[in-house]
Amino acid sequence: MCGIVGYIGNSDATPALLSGLARLEYRGYDSAGISILSGGKIATTKRAGKLGVLVEALKKKPLPAGKVGIGHTRWATHGSPVDRNAHPHIDPEEKVAIIHNGIIENYQVLKEELERLGHYFSSDTDSEVVAHLLGIEYGKSADLTDAMERVCQRLHGNFSLVAIAIDSPGVLIGARRNSPLVVGLGQGENFLASDVSAFISFTKRALEIGQNQVVTLTADSCSISDFNGVTQSPREFQVTWDASAAEKNGFPHFMAKEIMEQPKAVADCLLGRMDENGHLTLNEVRLSDDEIRDIDKVIIIGCGSAYHAGMIAKYGIEHWSRLPVEVELASEFRYRDPIITRNTLVIAISQSGETMDTLMALRHAKDQRAKVISICNTYGASIPRESDGVIYTQAGPEIAVASTKAFLTQIVAAYLVGLYIAEIRGIKFIDEVRDILEELGELPEKIERYLETSERLKDLALEFKSAQSILFLGRHVGFPVALEGALKLKELAYMHAVGFAAGELKHGPIALIEEGTPVLVIMPNLNSPLHDKMVSNVQEIEARGARAIIITAENDTSITSPRAIRIPDAPTLFQPLLAVLPLQLFAYESAVVRGYDVDQPRNLAKSVTVE
Ligand code: F6R
């Protein structure tokens, strides 16, 4: 939540900051602002609304040119989205400007202390206290790094901060605890940002900043210390995708592009997972074979779509490894005193790798000595860094707020973990695992084949444009798919939508069915014992007036409904990767026909770095 970017170099900072903010807008989009250091002063423009509002304001009244600056795009936590709560925030003497992502938990105490010293606050945010404190500390020593270290020692909660100061025109300073911040190393210019997408069109060289660290940048140097001033050595990495991956490339929305990228994303997720002897290799797992053999339980944690991916993965991991798998919402996990031992494997699933609920659940698991593997799409993010091992999903940047290609690749990656465990524990022979991998390898072509013929979803979206409520039904692996379909429709089209396990219908939800109620049904495979039961469920709801839209395999001739949506046939465990596609498209088209912002739905943000 909140995107932050800082620039220092030999060019004017404003264009670099605006281009960074455009790439970070997915993180929050209820207000935006930038501050530039120019002529010994800090010049600031900030506006409530999307980035476009700020851009227009800057066109009418440009900021003076300056070679160091900071920019912010906000997802409100403390204080409504109005101009005065937008970042950057300035100290009362107008000597420093800061931007912040996260929550300062002790801001009330700090604010009262500052008010007793006569400070007046111009916003309702928690972040403004940082500007005031930094102004005071900077006034004492005129060393911005020292000042930032001292301020950080006083802050409770989560933060990434970037600041500039009028008497240090050649310095850009940042700090982080539990919130993301990366350095981009350019030629005669350097960057600080929430993620690499902000500077990818300038440089692919990046540095990870660790927990509780302060980073001091000039145009051509970078030094890192902890909050006590002890020098730290950062880890450099190369960004593996290029700027075009973070552009729309002719698609009307990032979500449309990301849906169409799913064949490639799944193929890329499977890349490099086999060694020359045909063994499944997950090099990044970093657990010894003995440790894997000792595992007696798996717990998967995640939020939202990542949680649904975990629910699907449970079927595969249990089936292949014969280990019991629990799936838990990360936000609930640590509050129920879960039973965790050294032999528990916790799998944390997160596209962003920064979701605070998942990070906190992961830490709880580690405190209890569990082994933790993460499944993540963002290199160097907090969750993979704090895990014993990581499987990167290799899906490329996902910019639209709604998860699509990340979701599919999370399922694939979790399946790979299940197969890996099964092979090491001797439950599956190498050739059995290879056969399953071959079937997985057929998915990109099947996904592509479905996506090429998916036009019909637009008509359905138009037909149900004004529906009061839409239900989703599934069974077995189709149940989490139903939940995912309902989540997508809620978050994008703002329609009331609920997913059910179809077997539960008769225990209550069937009362919701009335004349015309649209129900999307994920039909189990023809050879599944659940197929006929689902057919009966469809008859039950149609008899009560429901309009059932049945997502079913192309070879399932038993389904003759004119409302059938045909997907390529696949083994039961892989069916979710196909069945979810029409649901993604239905939510997408519904948002478009209802006139909503597909990529940036209201009240949401891509990376949820608060609990
Ligand atoms: C829904 C969606 C969210 C995320 C959830 C977890 O389309 O995208 O529900 O799945 O916020 O995010 P990550 O995977 O970054 O931890």
CA 403 to centroid of ligand 1, rounded, Å:
6
What pTM, to 2 d.p., does this model score?
Answer: 0.85
Q: Do 210 and 81 fall into the same domain? A: yes
**Helix, strand or coil, per DSSP, at residue 345:** strand
Pocket of ligand 1 contains residue 304 by CB under 6 Å: yes
Atom of ligand 1 nearest to the CA of 407: 10
**Tens digits of residue pLDDT in 397-407:** 899 999 999 99
**Confidence at 504, pLDDT banded by 50, 70, 90:** very high
Instruction: Measure the CA–CA gap between 25 and 270, rounded to whole angstroms.
Output: 30
Pocket of ligand 1 contains residue 358 by CB under 6 Å: yes
Task: Give the mutation target among 357, 375, 401, 403 for probing the ligand 1 site: most ligand atoms within 8 A of CB.
Answer: 403
Is 109 inside a domain boundary? Answer: yes
Instruction: Measure the CA–CA gap between 413 and 237, rounded to whole angstroms.
Output: 22
Pocket of ligand 1 contains residue 362 by CB under 6 Å: no
Q: Do 163 and 77 fall into the same domain? A: yes
Q: Please give the single-letter amino acid code of residue 50.
A: K
Pocket of ligand 1 contains residue 3 by CB under 6 Å: no
Q: Residue 195, Cα to own-chain centre: how many angstroms?
A: 12
CA 525 to centroid of ligand 1, rounded, Å:
28
Q: Do 21 and 99 fall into the same domain? A: yes
Question: Residues with Cβ < 8 Å from 361, sequence gap 6 or more?
Answer: 301, 328, 330, 331, 333, 334, 346, 348
Query: What pLDDT is stored for residue 450 in this prediction?
Result: 95
Q: Do 379 and 471 fall into the same domain? A: no
DSSP-derived letter for residue 509 is G
Query: What pLDDT is stored for residue 172 in this prediction?
Result: 98
Is 598 inside a domain boundary? Answer: no
CA 258 to centroid of ligand 1, rounded, Å:
15
DSSP-derived letter for residue 601 is -
Question: Is 2 noted as a catalytic residue in this protein?
Answer: yes
Q: Do 282 and 225 fall into the same domain? A: no
Active-site residue, selected from the candidate residues 2, 152, 269, 303: 2
Pocket of ligand 1 contains residue 404 by CB under 6 Å: no
**Tens digits of residue pLDDT in 403-456:** 999 999 999 999 999 999 999 999 999 999 999 999 999 999 999 999 988 777
User: At 413, which helix (H) or strand (E)?
Assistant: helix 405-424
User: At 38, which helix (H) or strand (E)?
Assistant: strand 31-38
**Tens digits of residue pLDDT in 287-328:** 999 999 999 999 999 999 999 999 999 999 999 999 999 999
Task: Give the mutation target among 355, 378, 408 for probing the ligand 1 site: most ligand atoms within 8 A of CB.
Answer: 355
Q: Which residue has the higher pLDDT, 76 or 124?
A: 124
Q: Going by CA atoms, what residue is nearest to atom 3 of ligand 1?
A: 304
Q: Residue 136, Cα to own-chain centre: how many angstroms?
A: 36
Pocket of ligand 1 contains residue 374 by CB under 6 Å: no
**Tens digits of residue pLDDT in 19-29:** 999 999 888 88
Pocket of ligand 1 contains residue 22 by CB under 6 Å: no
Pocket of ligand 1 contains residue 378 by CB under 6 Å: no
Instruction: Measure the CA–CA gap between 483 and 491, rounded to whole angstroms.
Output: 12
Instruction: Measure the CA–CA gap between 463 and 204, rounded to whole angstroms.
Output: 46
CA 304 to centroid of ligand 1, rounded, Å:
5
Query: What pLDDT is stored for residue 281 in this prediction?
Result: 86
Residues 54 and 33: beta-carbon distance below 8 Å = yes
Question: Is 533 noted as a catalytic residue in this protein?
Answer: no
**366: closest CA among 417, 288, 309, 301?**
301
**Confidence at 272, pLDDT banded by 50, 70, 90:** confident
Q: Do 109 and 216 fall into the same domain? A: yes
Task: Give the mutation target among 179, 194, 254, 305 for probing the ligand 1 site: most ligand atoms within 8 A of CB.
Answer: 305
Q: Do 73 and 185 fall into the same domain? A: yes
Q: How many CB atoms lie within 10 A of CB 3?
A: 32
Q: How many domains does the chain have?
A: 3
Question: Residues with Cβ < 8 Å from 94, sequence gap 6 or more?
Answer: 41, 42, 166
Query: What pLDDT is stored for residue 462 in this prediction?
Result: 95
Q: Do 415 and 490 fall into the same domain? A: no
Q: Do 142 and 96 fall into the same domain? A: yes
Query: Which domain, by its residues, includes 525?
Result: 457-593
Dig out the tokens for 48 from the structure.
């409530």
CATH code of the domain covering residue 67? 3.60.20.10
Pocket of ligand 1 contains residue 409 by CB under 6 Å: no
Is 606 inside a domain boundary? Answer: no
Pocket of ligand 1 contains residue 306 by CB under 6 Å: yes
Secondary structure of the chain: what % helix, strand, coil (to 5)? 40, 25, 35
Pocket of ligand 1 contains residue 331 by CB under 6 Å: no
CA 503 to centroid of ligand 1, rounded, Å:
27
> Exposed (0-12), middle (13-18) or buried (19+): which is 412, by Cβ within 10 Å?
buried
Q: Do 198 and 305 fall into the same domain? A: no
Q: Do 279 and 239 fall into the same domain? A: no
Active-site residue, selected from the candidate residues 67, 371, 488, 606: 606
Q: Do 350 and 469 fall into the same domain? A: no
Instruction: Measure the CA–CA gap between 394 and 160, rounded to whole angstroms.
Output: 25
Q: Going by CA atoms, what residue is nearest to atom 6 of ligand 1?
A: 303
CATH code of the domain covering residue 568? 3.40.50.10490
Query: What pLDDT is stored for residue 512 in this prediction?
Result: 92
β-bridge pairing 157-165 and 96-104: antiparallel
